Structure 1
Amino acid sequence: MKQETTSIERLFRQHYSKMYHLARYILFDTDECHDVVSDVFARILEDKITLLPDTEEAFLLRSVRNRCLNLIARKSVKERATRQLLDDTTGVMAADDDERLDQLMLIISHLEPPLRQQILRLRYLQEMSYQEIADNLCVSKVTVYNHLSQAMDTIRKHLKTTKR
């Protein structure tokens, strides 16, 4: 255990600056950059990854880059879905956000099958990835995607009909 700690400390001291600057170049957000670099080191500890001295820097930088790109992709999907829902609901009840939220929650509670409700809630309320949802519910990622897509279509239709 002491050797693992010493090894991770050496990696941290030797490579943190380069890893942070790479994350900063990609994300432009100080807090997210620190989180990404910390996540990479946490993964090394959790998975007990052994790095070869001649490839450790490349592995660490590639890990930071991949984690940053995954973070951007997750944010992009979430932002697009949120923007789409908000665009569809803007004219519906712009006067009262609580009423709009209540209407949205009512639509979600009536989604069929119940699995669709569960997938939607896991994705947007618990911010789980498609893979995490698939693993959690023992379904495929394609099933998760299809249910989310159909749920969004249903919500959009309900909001448009109430808009008229």
Structure 2
Amino acid sequence: MAGAPTDEVTQWKELLTGNKEAYAAIYGLHVKAMYRYGMSLVSISEEFVLDCIHDVFAEIWIKRDRLSVPDNIRSYLFVALKNRILHLLKRQERPHMFVSQEHFEDLWFESSAEDILTQKEESASREELLTRLIGQLPPRQQEAIRLRFVENMDYQEIGQVLEVNTQSAHNLVFRAMEKLRGWLLAALFLFQYGLIWK
């Protein structure tokens, strides 16, 4: 049996015809990013987010004969995952809590164990500071920043996920960056003069 096509759009088209190898390839290509994104939206448990991801792919497989090729597959999957999570939370099928501050760092910084062990104390302090400041942004701006700088989405893709136009997506990122710059300058000034301690 021939392997799944390497081109993502071709893989999606093959998925729609019932090609299980193409289906598995699309899943493998996006599941890690979908997991990170899901955990950035709501922190319940790893199982909850993975269940939502599996629900999304199960629905795609069931409805494959009625689907078309999305303009952007990753954005399509992110929107589907977000809608699934919100649907379950509105039905209150499972308890939920928003991402806690102590878990937020793991979503934004994916250093290896070796990197963490060798990381300088000053660098670690600045990373922790940035994480804390990001956590103070409004949720919508946090999500936009994450999509831009963690998932490397362009503004059109961000707009698709957040269901806003491209200019609004750009504005969300710009305003978030302006806030972070101001907060970082103030915080680093206080650090420099020993006015902030851990």
- TM-score normalised to structure 2 length: 0.36
Q: Could you say which structure has the higher helix fraction? A: 1
